[in-house]
Structure 1
Amino acid sequence: MKAKYVNPFTDFGFKKIFGEEASKPLLIDFLGNLLPEANIVDLTFKDKDKLGHKEADRKVIYDIYCENSAGEKIIVELQKAKQNYFKDRTVYYATFPIQEQAEKGEWNYQLKYVYCIGILDFKFDDHIKSGQGEVIHTVQLKDQHNQVFYEKLKFVYLEMPHFKKTEQELISRLDKWLFFIRHLEDFETIPEIFKDEVFVQAFEKAEIAKYTEQERLDYEQSLKIYRDLKGVIDSAFDEGKQEGLLEGTQKGKLEEKLEIARKMKSKGLSSSDIADLTGLSENEIDTL
């Protein structure tokens, strides 16, 4: 039986629910509960395509990039599968909303807050040694005494496979949002706990039957890419762990990446997307 609601881990589904102008009340509610310190009353979507100065920088396009009424920047990224250099990627992304705050002429370097949110459809595994099994990981720059050195840059990772609360165990509104994201594709009707206006609107945005024919085609394509990408990367990482490739020689690591890239290419992913996910150059991928 086909699902009634979209998979929110697809690019189409996530942006439909949270990334459109009409979806702004949903995004405000979700982020307001995830980042209460940001005092989010209103949000403005920022132009994601004009960040960076070099051509390579302009390829950095976030899933959602917005700012609150205080001018604080918020990036929301959906991560569908494990990737090489995952932490490097998120730190790199954070540099753009910092750099864009530079002012011409005399400037005192005072910066606004930058929040980077990663919604992960996979487990960190070796990325985080402590706090394993937790859903929310908050990361900031700290000194040798474990004191926050710079409070205006915060990374928040939501490790969704670890969210295992049942409907009866949901306590906070953030719990409800995490439950919504984790199980949306499985719902056939709207559970009683989601009968308030914001969540009803979220379910309406997610209902496939309400889409135009073109939107349904776009979603099906997005769902196919999600399933193919997740299957290829997850299996490749699992095989790599079983065979010891991830801790093996540099040659072994390169061969592993090339094999992953071949599989992605056979699924129709673009060279730029494959390069982003594997760390290989587009030239290396084009020769496969």
Structure 2
Amino acid sequence: MSKYINPYTDFGFKKLFGEEGNKDLLIDFLNQLLPTHHQIETLTFRNNENSSEFAFERKAVFDIHCHAQNGERFIVEMQKAKVNYFKDRSLFYTTFPIREQAKRGEAWDFRLTPVYMIAILDFLYDEEAEKQKFLRSVALKDQDGEIFYDKLHFKFIQMPLFNKGENELKTHFDKWIYFLKNLDSFNDIPLILKEPIFEKAFHEAEIAAMTAPQFEQYQESLMSYIEIREVINTAIQSAENDGRKKEKYNIAKEMKKDGEPLDKIMRYTGLSEKEINGL
């Protein structure tokens, strides 16, 4: 049994970042990702689960209404998800806080507050290895690479691409990512994370401190997370197996064209006589 919660579970994610008493954790984490003029001073949550529209889709998405230190308001959409069409969904989710700014029953000049989509992902959405980035910051730009619209931003964090060890952590952001990625494998607080903000995060994440109902909720959330991971891993393994088998079929076809004997084709490809004859 782990000492600390798995932060990728719905329960663990919300325990750290979705409770009123832990707003300081969320503010500290988000301020590592946001620009200077949008450093958060205060924030409030909007409960998406009570929203009737697409509520089943948005259980792991927080609408966070923020006040910057300069007084400006803006909105952060924060999500953790393992889904198909991830980029499409991320764009779709940002339409909610955009549309909800419309003022009904009065004249409105269409002025919008900025929206940030921040996603912490324990999977890779970039399929091509050479194009993979741990942190991808996206904004609307024109053909010359200049910002066209500065009120819609995306921050995608692909956690599997973060491989720094404790002695390689250089920034406060590095420490947060190291904490999140390794939380459920820690037995004690690492020396480098012995700062008040992380000590509080470890305290909040301690399984032994949970009430009985909380522990039951966490176990259900953990089982759901494990089941989803198994489905994804099975799908990946199946795709890999299909790819390897297709490659073997192609090799067998070429060998047949070259007049190679059946036993040699079977030996080189591992295919059966029936499979080879059926090509």
Superposed pair shares fold, TM > 0.5: yes
Which residue of structure 1 aligns with residue 12 of structure 2? Answer: 13
> 1:39-118 to 2 correspondence within 5 Å?
39-49=39-49, 51=51, 56-61=53-58, 62-69=60-67, 70-79=72-81, 81=82, 83-104=83-104, 105-118=106-119
Alpha-carbon deviation of 1:120?
A: 0.6
SS class of match (1:103): coil
Q: Deviations over 1:155-197 (max 9, x none)?
A: 1000000000110110110000000000000100011112221
Change (3 A) 1:50 1:213: closer
Which residue of structure 1 aligns with residue 204 of structure 2? Answer: 205
TM normalised by structure 1 equals 0.77
CA distance in 1, matches of 2:204, 2:180: 13
Which residue of structure 2 aligns with residue 271 of structure 1? Answer: none
> 1:249-288 to 2 correspondence within 5 Å?
none
Which residue of structure 2 aligns with residue 26 of structure 1? Answer: 25
CA distance in 2, matches of 1:49, 1:123: 26
Which residue of structure 2 aligns with residue 279 of structure 1? Answer: none
Change (3 A) 1:216 1:73: same
CA distance in 2, matches of 1:27, 1:74: 11
SS class of match (1:199): helix
Q: Deviations over 1:27-85 (max 9, x none)?
A: 0000011113321111111232455xxx5444443432211113201011012x3x321
1:65 partner letter: D
Which residue of structure 2 aligns with residue 285 of structure 1? Answer: none
Alpha-carbon deviation of 1:243?
A: 2.3
For structure 2, the 5+ residue unaligned runs are 244-279
Which residue of structure 2 aligns with residue 153 of structure 1? Answer: 152
1:119 partner letter: I
Two-structure CA RMSD over aligned residues (Å): 1.8
CA distance in 2, matches of 1:241, 1:143: 38
Matched residues, percent identical?
41
Change (3 A) 1:228 1:59: closer
CA distance in 2, matches of 1:190, 1:71: 35
CA contact (8 A) 2:47 2:62 kept: no
TM normalised by structure 2 equals 0.80
Alpha-carbon deviation of 1:242?
A: 4.2
2:134 partner letter: V
CA distance in 1, matches of 2:95, 2:78: 14
For structure 1, the 5+ residue unaligned runs are 245-288
1:143 partner letter: D
Task: Report which stretch shifted further, 57-66 or 215-224.
Answer: 57-66
CA contact (8 A) 2:63 2:78 kept: yes
CA distance in 1, matches of 2:227, 2:56: 22
1:68 partner letter: C
Greater Rg over alpha carbons, structure:
2
